[in-house]
């Protein structure tokens, strides 16, 4: 007799909706491309693309709704209580919601851009959703195998998306580079997981927690290799070299998607793994994170100064932001993790916005990538220029924006755990970052326009995404705690990101 | 020394030697891939000695068969000749690879010497452990979610391969 496990199928709702959505899109593409007219409209390639993008947005919105409901309800739900793999709790449902929202915004941002390039195919949206389902598995996993599978399911669609514009050599190079580096990172991660399995005799976070000892060198090597595997995905120095090349070569809309979602998902999974399987971290490990954090902040900010290409500049800026985020890992406190979560959400909106402006300026696939091409943009595109200024101010961490609130919370966490030097280095390098972020506004408002041919009209999808990101950046900057209170009504969410990480500390 | 121990050492040494042969045979990629087959089959034999029959069969079928065939296909498609590896640069790269490899090996050996691999005492293995029935049962009960996720992963890989290789782009 085969024992039937007692499965809690409803827990899978967010991930299942995304997976079903991706299959609906793949099937829909085939059906639509065989029809001549649908509801009296002639079926063209860009019509198919737009319909399928709308389908993707619909399913992602459903996912967003279910995960927000699960976050508001609180509590911990496990898919299979006998053998937990996937666990929906305040932390994972909040991160799932963020992933769904940023995938949704990326889809809306991509429609016009892909149509211009004449590659507005349904597979694009299906791959984005498959990647999102991998992220959702990874951030809700309580078992190393699930973490690894989630990471692969997240990465493989993104390798393909980076090379989606097959006619461009740069896009191909970007895909191949990301694929090779990513495969090595996966192999390293898997080796580390195998060693952890060897010392603890189990793959679940609980088993590893029981079997892990800092005195055991094999266990430490295993943990180190796992951290290195994640370090590639979050572009931690010295594992960052791929980032600028891949961000530059990939189509801008893809860069927008991967620069935010991969970072959010990988950081969230790393927090979860460290807190649930190893926390509280040993002091020697915190020292390693300290060194890596300082290196990442300094290298990211210094290299960003000398960039002449806006996508490369944003790539180095994203490395620098990884460095600030790692301050939270160094502290390892509830405040540090809560600040990281807030910072990741703030980063999602401001970075998606900044890349969104680059996407909205791209003219027939000629990405306006040179920073010099922003000269005099305020005359011709005043609205886009104003939004770009806001996103740059937020990335630089100017008060009143989400970026400032994020940095403020991270630095407060550092001070409260006595990391004064991290605070000093972080603040100094933030000052340095103002130089390269404000170069673009200065060029836009104080220089004469060059002979660049920007796209002169903005699609409704791009406009909606940019305005949404701008509102989110301002709202999170001015009222960081009241936004979720507004969303969830009279729910008692004084500090919502804190509420998510409390579970790691027995809350 | 028992027969099993002798067989273990024979296959263990064979696995290590052919693994080295795979790495050192940079100029002849086909010979390199064939060395990999020997490594995989030796590992399969070691699994047999451990009475893990299913793992041994899967090892030989998947790694020795499918994956090496894939490698050979890639080698043939790319049709690499020795001219494409300039000797000067290769020497520096080789040296660096050897140094890093030896350093990591030494580190792992030292770590292994200091600590037993398994801290927790393993429980006695139940009857039929590692057989088809046990594997199937645990795949479709404990790991059912992951089986489904693997199918999504394969879907993503197939869609991706089709886009990169076959999608018509004007």
Strand (E) or helix (H) holding B162: helix B144-165
> Worst-scoring range by mean pLDDT, A26-40, A93-107, A362-376, B25-39?
A362-376
* Residue corresponding to tokens 């740069």: A170
Q: Which of A30, A149, A251 has the most B C-beta neighbours within 10 Å, making it the best mutation to test the interface with B? A: A149
Taking any CB pair shorter than 8 Å as contact, residues of chain B touching chain A are 107-108, 110-112, 114-115, 117-120, 122, 137, 141-146, 149-150, 152-153, 155-157, 159-160, 162-164, 167, 169-170
Separation of alpha carbons A314 and A113, rounded Å: 19
Is residue A353 within 8 Å of A462, Cβ to Cβ?
no
Q: B48-79, pLDDT tens digit by residue?
A: 998 888 889 999 999 888 888 888 888 888 77
Write the residue in A79, A119, A213 that is nearest to B169 by C-beta. Answer: A119
In 10 A of CB B106, how many CB atoms? 10
Given this model, what pLDDT does residue A488 score?
58
Please provide residue A88's backbone torsions phi and psi, each rounded to the nearest 5 degrees. -95, 115
Q: ω into residue A286 within 30 of 0, thus cis?
A: no
Given this model, what pLDDT does residue B69 score?
87
Rounded average pLDDT over A99-112 = 95
Is residue A473 within 8 Å of A394, Cβ to Cβ?
yes
The answer to whether A149 faces chain B, any CB pair under 8 Å, is: yes
Rounded average pLDDT over A249-267 = 95
Q: Where does the pLDDT of residue B149 fall: very low under 50, low under 70, confident under 90, or very high at 90 and above?
A: very high
> Worst-scoring range by mean pLDDT, A38-52, A62-76, B62-76, B85-99?
B85-99
Rounded average pLDDT over A195-214 = 89
> Worst-scoring range by mean pLDDT, A10-14, A108-112, B66-70?
B66-70
Q: What average pLDDT is seen over chain A?
A: 89
| Residue A76 C-alpha, separation from nearest chain B C-alpha, in angstroms | 18
Rounded average pLDDT over A294-319 = 94
Residues 382-421 of A with CB under 8 A from B: none
Rounded average pLDDT over B94-105 = 86
Which is it for the CA torsion A133, A138, A140, A141, positive or negative?
A: positive
Question: Where is pLDDT greater, at A472 or B93?
Answer: A472
Given this model, what pLDDT does residue A450 score?
76
In 10 A of CB A364, how many CB atoms? 9
Given this model, what pLDDT does residue A280 score?
78
Q: What average pLDDT is seen over chain B?
A: 83
Given this model, what pLDDT does residue B122 score?
63
DSSP string, A268-337: HHHHHHIIIIIPSPPHHHHHHHHHHHHHHHHHHHHHHHT--BHHHHHHHHHHHHHHHHHHHHHH-SHHHH
Q: Does the pLDDT value for residue A472 go beyond 80? A: yes
CB contact under 8 A, A217 and B115: yes
CB contact under 8 A, A145 and B143: yes
* Residue corresponding to tokens 């070691």: B46
Rounded average pLDDT over A342-350 = 95
Is residue A94 within 8 Å of A341, Cβ to Cβ?
yes
- Which chain A residues have a beta carbon less than 8 Å from that of B107? 221
- Cβ within 8 Å of residue A498, ≥6 positions away: A334, A335, A338
Check: complex ipTM more than 0.85? yes
The answer to whether A210 faces chain B, any CB pair under 8 Å, is: yes
- Cβ within 8 Å of residue A340, ≥6 positions away: A267, A271, A325, A328, A329, A410
Structure tokens at A450: 């060059």
- Which chain A residues have a beta carbon less than 8 Å from that of B163? 121, 123, 127, 160, 164
Closest residue in chain B to residue A141, using alpha carbons only: B146
- Which chain B residues have a beta carbon less than 8 Å from that of A118? 169-170
| Residue B160 C-alpha, separation from nearest chain A C-alpha, in angstroms | 6
Q: Which of B134, B143, B149 has the most A C-beta neighbours within 10 Å, making it the best mutation to test the interface with A? A: B149
Residues 292-311 of A with CB under 8 A from B: none
Q: Does the pLDDT value for residue A306 go beyond 70? A: yes
**Alpha helices, H only, A35-121:** 45-73, 90-117
- Which chain B residues have a beta carbon less than 8 Å from that of A121? 163, 167
Buried b (16+ CB within 10 A) or exposed e, A43-59: eeeeebbbbbbebbbeb
Question: Where is pLDDT greater, at A106 or A166?
Answer: A106
pTM for the full model?
A: 0.91
Rounded average pLDDT over A282-297 = 89
Q: B17-39, pLDDT tens digit by residue?
A: 999 888 887 777 888 888 999 99
Is residue A437 within 8 Å of A361, Cβ to Cβ?
no
Query: How far from each other are the two terminal CA atoms of chain B, in whole angstroms?
Result: 69
> Worst-scoring range by mean pLDDT, A53-67, A140-154, A315-329, B155-169?
B155-169
- Which chain B residues have a beta carbon less than 8 Å from that of A228? none
Q: Where does the pLDDT of residue A484 fall: very low under 50, low under 70, confident under 90, or very high at 90 and above?
A: low
Separation of alpha carbons A150 and A138, rounded Å: 4
Is residue A5 within 8 Å of A80, Cβ to Cβ?
yes
Write the residue in A121, A127, A210 that is nearest to B156 by C-beta. Answer: A127
> Worst-scoring range by mean pLDDT, A284-293, A347-356, A447-456, A462-471?
A447-456
Helix (H, G, I), strand (E, B) or coil at A42: strand
- Cβ within 8 Å of residue A333, ≥6 positions away: A413, A416, A417
Percent share of chain A, pLDDT over 90? 63
Separation of alpha carbons A398 and A289, rounded Å: 26
């Amino acid at each position: 007799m085969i024992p039937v496990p007692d499965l809690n199928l409803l827990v899978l709702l967010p991930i299942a909706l995304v997976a079903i959505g991706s299959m609906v899109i793949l099937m829909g593409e085939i059906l639509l491309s065989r029809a001549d007219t649908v509801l009296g409209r002639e079926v063209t390639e860009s019509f198919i693309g737009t319909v399928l993008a709308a389908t993707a947005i619909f399913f992602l919105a459903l996912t967003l709704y279910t995960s927000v409901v699960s976050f508001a309800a609180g509590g911990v739900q496990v898919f299979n209580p006998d053998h937990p793999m996937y666990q929906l709790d305040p932390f994972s449902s909040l991160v799932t919601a963020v992933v769904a929202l940023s995938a949704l915004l990326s889809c809306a941002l991509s429609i016009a851009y892909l149509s211009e390039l004449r590659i507005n195919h349904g597979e694009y949206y299906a791959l984005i959703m498959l990647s999102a389902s991998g992220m959702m598995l990874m951030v809700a996993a309580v078992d190393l195998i699930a973490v690894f599978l989630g990471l692969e399911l997240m990465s493989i669609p993104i390798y393909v998306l980076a090379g989606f514009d097959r006619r461009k050599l740069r896009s191909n190079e970007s895909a191949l580079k990301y694929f090779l580096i990513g495969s090595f990172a996966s192999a390293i991660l898997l080796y580390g997981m195998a060693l952890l399995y060897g010392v603890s005799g189990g793959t679940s976070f609980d088993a590893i927690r029981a079997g892990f000892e800092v005195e055991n060198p094999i266990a430490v090597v295993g943990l180190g290799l796992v951290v290195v595997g994640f370090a590639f995905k979050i572009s931690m120095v010295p594992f960052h070299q791929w980032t600028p090349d891949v961000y530059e070569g990939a189509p801008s809309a893809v860069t927008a998607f991967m620069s935010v979602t991969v970072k959010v998902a990988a950081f969230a999974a790393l927090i979860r793994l460290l807190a649930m399987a190893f926390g509280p971290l040993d002091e020697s490990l915190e020292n390693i994170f300290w060194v890596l954090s300082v290196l990442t902040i300094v290298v990211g900010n210094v290299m960003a100064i000398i960039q002449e290409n806006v996508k490369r500049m944003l790539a180095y800026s994203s490395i620098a932001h990884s460095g600030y985020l790692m301050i939270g890992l160094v502290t390892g406190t509830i405040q540090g993790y809560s600040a990281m979560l807030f910072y990741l959400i703030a980063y999602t909106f401001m970075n998606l916005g900044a890349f969104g402006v680059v996407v909205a300026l791209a003219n027939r696939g000629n990405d306006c990538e040179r920073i010099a091409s922003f000269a005099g943009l305020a005359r011709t595109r005043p609205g886009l220029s104003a939004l770009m200024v806001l996103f740059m101010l937020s990335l630089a961490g100017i008060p009143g924006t989400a970026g400032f609130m994020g940095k403020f919370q991270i630095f407060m966490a550092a001070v409260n755990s006595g990391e004064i030097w991290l605070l000093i280095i972080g603040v100094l390098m933030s000052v340095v970052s103002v130089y390269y972020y404000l170069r673009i506004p200065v060029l836009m408002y104080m220089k004469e326009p060059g002979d660049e041919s920007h796209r002169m009209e903005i699609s409704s999808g791009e406009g909606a995404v940019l305005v949404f990101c701008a509102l989110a950046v301002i709202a999170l900057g001015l009222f960081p705690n009241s936004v979720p209170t507004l969303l969830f009504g009279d729910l008692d969410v004084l500090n919502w990101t804190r509420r998510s990480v409390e579970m790691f500390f027995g809350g | 020394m028992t027969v099993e121990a002798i067989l273990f050492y024979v296959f263990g040494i064979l696995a290590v030697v052919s693994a080295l042969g795979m790495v050192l045979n940079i100029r002849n990629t086909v010979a390199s891939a064939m060395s990999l087959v020997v490594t995989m089959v030796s590992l399969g034999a070691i699994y047999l000695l451990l009475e893990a029959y299913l793992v041994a069969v899967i090892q030989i079928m998947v790694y020795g068969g499918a994956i090496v065939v894939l490698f050979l296909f890639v080698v043939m498609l790319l049709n690499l000749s020795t001219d494409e590896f300039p000797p000067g640069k290769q020497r520096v790269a080789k040296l660096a690879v050897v140094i890093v490899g030896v350093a990591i090996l030494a580190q792992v050996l030292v770590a292994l010497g200091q600590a037993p691999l398994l801290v927790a005492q393993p429980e006695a293995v139940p009857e039929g452990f590692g057989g088809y029935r046990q594997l199937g049962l645990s795949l479709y009960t404990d790991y059912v979610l992951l089986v489904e996720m693997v199918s999504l992963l394969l879907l993503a890989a197939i869609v991706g391969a089709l886009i990169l290789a076959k999608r018509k782009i004007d």
